[in-house]
């Protein structure tokens, strides 16, 4: 059992909503917390549930532009219909509503809290489900993300000369984080995601490698539709883990989006909870100071199950195969048909797998030629 871990949470995560028809369901934070509680994962010795604190304006200004923050504040003051497409605000993707600024400041602050717990307070690891808003830009909302919590939280560490490895497992490319650090070698960004050829945010291609001093420190592993756990695990083994080991960062931060799972309504990958557990164990085994943040996931019970298994792996704790009976009742009341904590094994159709394997091999071959020598990795 691992000790000295922090779980960052607030009941206020669940206070707001994007709207009943929006795919981003805020209920997933409460469901994840409730499932962890039902599995007995929040009261182990050496584990502290830490109340998230909201990011201050000064903290947000470390990355975000003042004009953008000002309009976010103004639009959040009432429920009047507001839109400004220059800043990506007010459409169906990124709605604005009363209290929005306070809420997103809290969600961003949760990641700041997690980083502080690990870097300043010496925690072995911390998990903030509220983070992972990897599409946010300095002056534009995008992809349900109004702020970029990782970019904000890392600024003080960069000023101290720290080196950070950022790994993004979300099915969508972590374009906002990549752009924030595209020209620096202080942050190694690695994103494995569904190919942007015909999939949002239409970026994250294999030849996006960074620029200037940052060349070789932006790494993308685009996966074609129907890539399953075997493909995802190979990407981890052949690219992600060797790069982390070679880079030797002061801090590892990972985005644990759960939308790579085969039953997610917005994506076309075929992963299962087994990959989420595998990845979490791999990150823990690096023995690096580790901050895990949330991310995407548009099937709320999938998200709750996946993040519960992440937290269990961080703890080194055993969990039941079935969902606890009390939680099964909650699942049923929400209209979901699910009684397993872990997914059963799943393999893609053989033809789909062969295509996914071929695409992965071609991409890794390019990374081995262009990136590995820069990090002194022998392929």
pLDDT of residue 155: 98
Q: Which two tokens stand for residue 93?
A: 């993707």
- Provide the domain count of the chain: 1
Contact 14, 26 (CB under 8 A): yes
Q: How distant, in Å, are the alpha carbons of 2, 42, 129, 306, 327 from that of 34?
A: 21, 10, 13, 13, 8
Closest by Cα among 337, 279, 264, 277 to 306: 277
232 phi, psi to nearest 5 deg = -60, -40
When computed from its CA atoms, the radius of gyration of the chain, rounded to whole angstroms, is: 19
Neighbours of 3 (CB within 10 A): 12
pLDDT of residue 3: 81
Distance CA 222, CA 235 (A): 10
Neighbours of 140 (CB within 10 A): 20
Query: Which residue in the list 64, 134, 135, 137 is annotated as catalytic?
Result: 135
Please report, in tens digits, the pLDDT of each residue of the chain (379 residues total): 678 999 999 999 999 999 999 999 999 999 999 999 999 999 988 999 999 999 999 999 999 999 999 999 999 998 777 899 999 999 999 999 999 999 999 999 999 999 999 999 999 999 999 999 999 999 999 999 999 999 999 999 999 999 999 999 999 999 999 999 999 999 999 999 999 999 999 999 999 999 999 999 999 999 999 999 999 999 999 999 999 999 999 999 999 999 999 999 999 999 999 999 999 999 999 999 999 999 999 999 999 999 999 999 999 999 999 999 999 999 999 898 899 999 999 999 999 999 999 999 999 999 999 999 999 998 7
Task: Answer yes or no: 346 catalytic.
Answer: no
Expressed as residue numbers, the domain containing 344 is 5-375
Distance CA 222, CA 232 (A): 11
Strand order in the sheet with 187-194: 47-51, 5-9, 125-128, 290-293, 251-255, 164-168, 187-194, 218-223
What CATH number corresponds to the domain at position 58?
3.40.800.20
pLDDT of residue 78: 82
DSSP label at 183? T
Distance CA 284, CA 294 (A): 16
Question: CA quadruple 19, 94, 24, 316: dihedral positive or negative?
Answer: negative
Closest by Cα among 175, 207, 181 to 88: 175
Distance CA 78, CA 101 (A): 11
Distance CA 116, CA 110 (A): 10
Contact 168, 192 (CB under 8 A): yes
Distance CA 282, CA 264 (A): 24
Q: Which two tokens stand for residue 62?
A: 């470390």
Contact 187, 217 (CB under 8 A): yes
pLDDT of residue 302: 96
Q: Which ranges of the chain would DSSP assign to H, the alpha helix?
A: 27-38, 57-60, 66-75, 100-119, 149-159, 175-180, 229-235, 241-247, 273-285, 300-315, 325-333, 350-370
């Amino acid at each position: 059992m691992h000790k000295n871990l922090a779980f960052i949470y607030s009941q206020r995560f669940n206070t707001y909503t994007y709207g009943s028809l929006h795919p981003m369901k805020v209920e997933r934070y409460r469901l994840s917390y409730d499932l962890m509680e039902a599995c007995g994962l929040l009261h182990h010795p050496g584990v502290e549930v830490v109340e998230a604190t909201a990011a201050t304006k000064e903290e947000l200004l470390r990355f975000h532009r003042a004009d953008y923050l000002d309009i976010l504040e103004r639009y959040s003051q009432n429920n009047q219909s507001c839109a400004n497409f220059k800043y990506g605000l007010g459409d169906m993707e990124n709605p604005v509503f009363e209290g929005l600024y306070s809420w997103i400041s809290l969600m961003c602050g949760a990641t700041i809290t997690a980083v502080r717990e690990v870097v300043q307070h010496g925690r072995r690891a911390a998990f903030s489900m509220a983070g992972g808003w990897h599409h946010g830009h300095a002056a534009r909302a995008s992809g349900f993300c109004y702020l970029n919590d990782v970019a904000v939280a890392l600024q003080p560490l960069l000023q101290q000369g720290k080196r950070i490895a950022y790994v993004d497992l979300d099915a969508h490319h972590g374009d906002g984080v990549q752009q924030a650090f595209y020209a620096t070698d202080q942050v190694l960004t690695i994103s494995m995601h569904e190919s942007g050829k015909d999939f949002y945010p239409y970026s994250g291609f294999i030849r996006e490698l960074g620029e200037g001093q940052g060349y070789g420190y932006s790494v993308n592993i685009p996966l074609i539709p129907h890539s399953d756990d075997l493909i995802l695990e190979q990407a981890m083994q052949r690219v992600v883990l060797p790069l982390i080991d070679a880079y030797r960062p002061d801090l590892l931060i990972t985005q644990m989006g759960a939308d790579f799972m085969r039953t997610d309504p917005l994506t076309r990958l075929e992963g299962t909870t087994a990959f989420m557990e595998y990845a979490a164990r791999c990150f823990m085994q690096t023995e690096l100071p580790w901050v895990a943040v949330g991310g995407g996931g548009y099937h709320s019970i999938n998200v709750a199950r996946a993040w519960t298994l992440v937290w269990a792996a961080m703890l080194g704790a055993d969990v039941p195969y079935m969902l606890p009976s009390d939680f099964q009742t909650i699942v049923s009341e929400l209209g979901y048909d699910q009684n397993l904590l872990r997914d059963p094994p799943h393999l893609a159709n053989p033809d789909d797998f062969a295509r996914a394997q071929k695409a992965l091999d071609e991409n890794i071959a390019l990374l081995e030629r262009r990136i590995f020598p820069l990090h002194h990795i022998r392929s």
